[in-house]
Every structure is written in C-alpha cells, then in structure tokens.
Structure 1
Amino acid sequence: MRRLAAFVMSGPAQAVAVVVLTAVGGVLFPPIALLSAAAVALVVLRHGLNQGLIVAGWSALVLAVLAGLATGTPSAAVAGLLYAAIQWLPTIVVALVLRQTASWRNVMTGLTLFAVAGVIGVHLWVPDITEKWLDVLQRSVSGLLQRAGMSPMEVSAAIERAAHYATGVFAMSFVLSVALSLMLARAWQAQLYNPGGFRDEYTSWRLSYWLAGVAVLLVALVLLMQNDMLIELAMVVLTPFLLQAIGLIHGVVRQTGISVGWLVGMYVLLVLAPPQMGSLLAAVGVADSFTDLRGRFGRGA
C-alpha cells in the first residue's frame, strides 16, 4: 500500500492512472472502489483542493470515455461521469475539511449529519419509499436469492423486511465508504510523510457528547415507537461510533499491552455476526464519548 501511495504522489498522470484503474476494478468488486476514492483524497490532503479536482476531473473524463467505448453508447459515458461524481466528490469534501481543520470530529459529524439529512429528505420527498424499494429489490435481488437456495416465500419475506430499512442501509453504507476511503488516504499520507501519525489520530478519536446524546435519544425513540425512519436514522448516527469503538479498542490494546487476540476476535465477530457485533461496538463508542473510556484505561495501565 505504501508503494501505491507513493506512486499516486509521484505525479498527476500517475494519480489519474491509479484512480481510473481502481474505479474500473470497483465495478467488478466494489471494495476496490475505496482505493479509488482514497487516491483522490490523498491528493487533496497533500496538495489541496485544486490538485484534487484536477485529478478527479481527468479521471472522470477517462472513465467516461472508457465506458462509452466499452458499450458504444453516449449514455454509458454519462453513467461513467455520474459514477465518478458519486464516488469522489463526497470524499473530496471531507478530505478538504480534514486538511483545513485536522479534526476527525468535524469530519465525522458533518458526514453523519449530511447522511441524516439525506434519509429525512428521501422520506419527505418519496412518501411511499418502502414500496419503491420493494419493487427495486424484487427486480434486482430476488433471482439471486432464489439461486442461493431460498424458497420464493423466504425471498419475499426477506425482501419485504429489507425494503423497510433500505434507505438507512444505503445512507449507513455511504458514511462507512466515505469514512473508510478518507481513513485509508490519511493512513497513506502518514506512511509517506508522518509515520505513526494516523495511528495516533485514529486511536484518540472521540466524537462529541451531543452527537452521542442524539444517538441515545434515537435508540430510545426506536424502542418506544418502532418507526422505520427512526430506525434508519439510528443506524446512520451510530455508524461513526462503531468506527470510534474500533479505534478505542486498538488504542486500549496498545496502551495496556494486552494480547492482539482481542483485535482478532473483534474482527472475526464483525465478519460472523455484523449486526450484533456492530451494535455492541457502536454502544461502546457512544459510552466512550460520554465517559472517556480510553482515558480510564490509560490511568489504570
């Protein structure tokens, strides 16, 4: 990864090459798209907004041309531009905020509030959003689920459940993908110019107590009302606290010198039981914002 970051920093043409190639790879395997956005963010973090926009603009143009040539239709070129905008513009914005403020609290708060506004806006703009998602999911994933061995009745039930929370899942995924791309870019920047800097930043994350209070309020309202939009909002607001908790645990392992097996176990459980482990970690992150758990562990070390 350090070599890839160094190649991105070796010149605009090299950066464009990495951004385009990883964006194309992201079409086939979505996680690779994180590398594409991270490369753009690295340019912004190191060289500023203008250079980041130049790299993103040329990359978008190349991507549009490739899409047009691959399909022979102008609409595909437009789709390539839209794909580029969706992938890179949010990351450029948060990278600029981090460059100017050096505050992950500001970055994550702004990103979360933007996603919250998106969820509310979608529900206000499309009152029957669940029915819309139901139609989309039936056309896009029902066949895949049936080929995976699920019966038609099971597929129908699963799609109906997913449709109620699809907007929130999309918004939560947006927060995660943008945050992970920026974290990767910051880690690359630290590897090249400030070894150990990102580790120190990430393990000291502590989001504001008022955002933690909003998370607690939303969870309480969900338990009382079981409203779809409230559930989606809670999912979005808890997402940055999940990332905070992971950084907290890394920091505690580093502070106390306990076995890295705790980290391995955490990641294994996140893979095997993501909803349960994710919820537990988010709760830990919220508690940390109120009580400064890492400070307590540090004093006890």
Structure 2
Amino acid sequence: MQAVLAWIMSSRWRAVLSVWMMGAVQWLGLLGGGLVALVGLRQGPREGLGVALLAAAGLIPVSLMVGASAWQISAAALSLWLPVLVMTWALHRSGSLARACQLAAIFAIGLVLMLHTAEDEVIRLGRAIIDQWLMPLFEERPQGPPSDQELDQMALRLPGMLATAFSLALILSLFLGRWWQAILYNPGGFRAEFHEFRHGQVAILLGGALFILSAVTNLAVLDNLALVAIMVMMLQGLAVCHAMVHRRGLSGFWLLPVYGLLLLFSVAAMSVLAALAILDNVIDFRARYAPAKQPPNGSDD
C-alpha cells in the first residue's frame, strides 16, 4: 500500500487520475474522498481543490455515458470532496482531529435543516422507501401495519439518516486520508492521534443537550439532529475503546464485539458509545485507567 500511495502522491496528474477512477466507480467513492483528503493534508487544501476540480471535470463524460445529466456524477463527487477539503483545512489550522470531525456534524446539521424546509417532499420520498422496503415487515406484525400518521412520522426521520450517512462518509474519508498520510510520512501517527481523540466539554454538552431535547419533545427535526450528534460523539467512545485495548496490551479481538454491535444494533450501540464519550469527559478513562506510555527521558522516539 505504501508504494501505491507514494506513486499517487508523486505528481498532481497521478493524484487526479486516481481520484477520477475512484469517483467513476460508485462504491469506491470513499477511497476517492480519502485520496482528496491525503492531498489536502500533505500538499495543502489549495492543491487538494485543484485535484478535486480536475477529477470532477473528468467525470462529466462518465455522467453522459451512463445517461445521467452532465453534472450529476461530478456534483455528487464534489459534494463529498469539497467538505472533506474544508475539514483538512480545519485539521491544519487546529491540529485537532475532533475539531475537523465536528465540521462534518455542522455540514450534516445544515443538510437536516435544509431538508426540513421541504417536509412534504421528504414525507413523499420517505413513504416511498418505507412502502418498498419496510411495509412487508410491518404487515407481518400482530398489530398490523402502522397508521398513515405513524408512517409520516417515520418518513420525517429520513433526513437524520441521510445526514448521518453523509457525515459518516466525510469522517471516514478524512480518517482514510490521515491514515494514509501516517503510512507514508509518520508511521503509527494516526493510531496515536485517534487514541487521544476528544471533543471537549462544549461539543459534548451541545450534543448531550440535543439528545435530551429530542427525548423530551419527540420532534422529528430534533430527533434527526440528535442522531447526527450521537454519531459524532460516538467517535470519542470508540477512541476510548481503542486506547484502552492498545495501552493495556490486549488483543485487537476485544474490539470485535464493539463493531459487531454497531453493525447489528447501530443506533443503540452508537448511543452507548456516545454516553461513554460523555462519561469520559467527566472521568477521563484513558488518563485514569490506561495512561499513555511516556518515552524514557522525555524523548519522542
């Protein structure tokens, strides 16, 4: 992998070609976002922007070949790449991975609020998805399918799911870019950085407040905003788990149940990890139970 990444980073046009190839294949989109993040982190957001725009321009013929509008695939790619570049700029300025991830939450919150300005359209789209994928399951329930009002309320939770998926794609792209940067230029750096991941009191309090307001009011817009907040707070909970396992010399297999629960019971597991993040800001599990090993004589080696 290191040799491939070094080849990509050796020239702008190799980076453009690689990002273009990832953008042209839908299920490789996150890898393209990771490469854009890598360029932005290593060579600066301006160079990353140039690579992203050139790759997006190259996607216009792809859109036409598959029968999409001229800008459809390019716009979809840029909707991921441009926010990722803003996050790399924030990481450059603050030196904090958590601050960059909070930007992803801000983008997602903007998406939720924008979608809620057209609730009728959201309900229509949500009902279509429910009718296609969930209605057969509802019809098998002893109490029968939900009422129209209940289905409308379920459809109004669609913006939260879309925004959460969007913010997760942004964060994974940034993490890929940061990990690849560490592979090339700072081995082990991403692991150490993620193990210290911490949102801070203000961000955690805001996320916790959204969660409480959502539970008390049961408003769809607050439920959607709370889902985004839970996903981003969850990252600190994951960082605590990773740091505790690594610093106590345990096998990485101890993390498998965590990720297994995230796959099987995603929202519930995310909520538990978000709660762990809130507790970590009070107790500081890593400092108390698994402090980072200090190099001898204050050396950084």
Question: In 2, Cα distance between the equivalents of 1:65 and 1:141?
Answer: 34
1:171 partner amino acid: A
2:184 aligned to 192, 195, 204, which one?
192
TM-score, structure 2 as length reference:
0.86
Three-state SS of the structure 2 residue aligned to 1:77 is: coil
Partner of 2:62: 66
Give 2:73's aligned residue. 80
Matches within 5 A, 1:1-301: 1-26=1-26, 29=27, 32-71=28-67, 76-123=69-116, 125-126=117-118, 129=119, 131-139=120-128, 142-145=131-134, 151=139, 154=145, 160=152, 162-298=154-290
Partner Cα distance (1:3, 1:137) in 2: 45
CA distance in structure 2 between the aligned counterparts of 1:5 and 1:222, rounded to whole angstroms:
43
Q: CA deviation at 1:241?
A: 1.4
Q: How many angstroms does 1:161 deviate by?
A: 5.0
Q: Report the secondary structure of 1:76's partner residue.
A: coil
Give TM-score, length-normalised by structure 1: 0.86
CA deviation digits over 1:54-102, x for unaligned, max 9? 211110111012211332xxx6212123112212111111012112322
Tell me the percent identity.
Answer: 29
Tell me by how many angstroms 1:45 deviates.
0.6
Distance 1:86 1:141, change over 3 A: farther
Distance in 1 (CA, whole Å) between partners of 2:291 and 2:21 is: 47
**Residues 24 and 62 of structure 2 are in contact (CA less than 8 Å); yes or no, is this contact kept in structure 1?**
no
Q: What amino acid does structure 2 have at the position aligned with 1:25?
A: V
Partner Cα separation in structure 2 for residue 287 and residue 10 of structure 1:
44
- Give 5+ residue unaligned stretches, structure 2: 294-301
Q: Which runs of 5+ in 1 are unaligned?
A: none
CA distance in 2, matches of 1:163, 1:289: 34
> Secondary structure of the residue that 2:5 maps to in structure 1?
helix
Q: 1:251 to 1:155 in 2, by over 3 A?
A: same
CA distance in 1: counterparts of 2:101 and 2:15, whole angstroms: 26
Cα distance, 1:155 vs structure 2: 9.0
- Residues 204-213 or 92-101, more deviating: 92-101
> Are residues 225 and 137 of structure 1, via their aligned partners in 2, closer, same or farther at CA, if it must alter by over 3 Å?
closer
Cα deviation per residue 1:3-46 (whole Å; 9 max; x = unaligned)?
A: 442232122222122212212222xx3xx211011111111111
Check whether the contact 1:142–1:155 (CA below 8 A) recurs between aligned residues: no
Structure 2: distance between partners of 1:232 and 1:296: 34
| CA displacement at 1:150 relative to structure 2 | 6.6
Contact kept in structure 2, 1:145 and 1:155, CA below 8 Å: no
Q: CA deviation at 1:145?
A: 5.0
Aligned to 2:299: none
Displacement after TM superposition at 1:149 (Å): 6.9
Change (3 A) 1:138 1:116: closer
Q: Quote the RMSD (CA, aligned, Å).
A: 2.6
**Partner Cα separation in structure 2 for residue 300 and residue 67 of structure 1:** 49
* Residues 29 and 77, structure 2, Cα contact 8 Å, conserved in 1: no
TM-fit CA distance, 1:2: 3.3
**Aligned partner letter, 1:188:** W
* Rounded Cα–Cα distance in structure 1 between residues aligned with 2:130 and 2:231: 25
